[in-house]
Amino acid sequence: MRNKLFGKLIGLAAIAVVLAGVAGILTTNGSEAAGPDRVVAGVGIVPGLGLVVHVAVLVGPGQSDRAAVDTALAAQGARPITSAEYSLTGLVHDGPADGATLEDDQVAVVYNGSNMPSFTPGFDMQALVNASVAPWNAVSQSALVFSDGGSTSNACPSLLKECPGRQVLNGANEVAFWALKSNTTLAVTWSHSGADEFDIAFNTNFSWVDNATDVTGNGEFDVVTVGIHEFGHGAGIGHSTADGDPVMEAVYDGGRRGLADDDSDALNALYGGGATADPTPDPTETPAPTPTPEPGVADTLTLGDLGGPYGKRDRVIIPVSATDNGTGVEGVAVQVRIVTASGKALSGSSTTGADGSVQFSYKVNAGRDGSGTYTVTATAAGGLSAGGTFEVE
């Protein structure tokens, strides 16, 4: 990764995303307030190590936001960041924005669910990660795609201060639940100014819920809302002061599982510029069929011919169509998962176009992903799925 000056990377509309982090904290009503407990966020650095720390902190009535954030940062061995340092510490994964190849924008996430609290049946660590990255992966102009890197045997994310031994870069983006030293820190995201790596930890000392309509003041926190915010930091996005309730606003205000325009603009500023993701949604623009089925509701999902065999740098087109009684359905959310010959999992998501179809693409890198059979699975709501394979020589 290359150090980059954020002011050169981020367009005018998204500059507030960076500037909000300069003060170290962001609140809705000043640096000190009465009233119920609230959550604010801050950013700091570990001097001499190039490590950047984002924290989400519970602040009690009448307590200073700045003091609460400073205390939480100190528990992670960090101090508040200065305006001069902030422009040099951003995590930006290599990709089209800096001239690298598209496949570099596949950011694999590994997870350790051993300390995860009990949620509703089926909501495990993989489901949490998938729900947290889905809004970011759906940003149409961004080339960045968080992919499923599977579970990890590492007991503790390597950058987490609470882990035994030294904080080290191990090349993996790790997510886990862990007992953080500060009992006021909900979650923390670590990254490095000189490497494409981040780690996220949710504090097991809090009451987490899987509740998209969670409200503030009840002592519970929607884990997906916080996860979406932390993965925004994992993408290199700072805090926002923009209107429209962005998820990157540095305050927890109840369940908020969608992105605001400012969130999408910030991601596009870092990974957009007309680039496409890998796998890449490329919906075909054709007139809507008549009669038009109910938008987004299909009874059949079909995976088209994948072709092949492919050479080590070929591009594979993955066509998917969604139909209802044989008629294409627009607006169906489709997820595609590729398992390479080496066992690496890649994923992408998009929605069908007016004719009920959507295309994904994958650029072969046999040196990285192996030669042999690649498995493709497309899924959509209602239990719909379709699968196929292609060969890489």
Cα–Cα distance for residue pair 385/295, rounded to 1 Å: 18
State the average pLDDT for the chain. 74
What local confidence, expressed as pLDDT, does residue 98 receive?
A: 42
pLDDT digits (tens, 9 = 90+) for 299-314: 999 999 999 899 876 7
Task: Give me 99's structure tokens.
Answer: 């001239």
pLDDT classification of 377: cutoffs 50, 70, 90: very high
Do the Cβ atoms of 174 and 58 come closer than 8 Å?
no
CA angle 357, 361, 366 (to 5 degrees): 150
Q: Enumerate the CATH 2.60.40.1930 domain ranges in the chain, comma separated.
A: 300-392
* The CATH number fitting domain 300-392, selected from 3.40.50.720, 3.30.1330.10, 3.90.1150.10, 2.60.40.1930: 2.60.40.1930
What local confidence, expressed as pLDDT, does residue 64 receive?
A: 80
- Domain 6-271, what fold? Collagenase (Catalytic Domain) (3.40.390)
More confident residue, 166 or 262: 262
Cα–Cα distance for residue pair 389/316, rounded to 1 Å: 11
Do the Cβ atoms of 97 and 273 come closer than 8 Å?
yes
Strand partners, 335: 349, 379
User: What are the DSSP calls for 119-155, one per residue?
Assistant: -STT--HHHHHHHHHHHHHT-TT---EEEEEEE---S
Say if strands 195-203 and 185-192 run parallel, antiparallel, or are unpaired: antiparallel
pLDDT classification of 323: cutoffs 50, 70, 90: very high
pLDDT digits (tens, 9 = 90+) for 230-247: 999 888 888 777 777 888
What local confidence, expressed as pLDDT, does residue 321 receive?
A: 93
What local confidence, expressed as pLDDT, does residue 337 receive?
A: 86
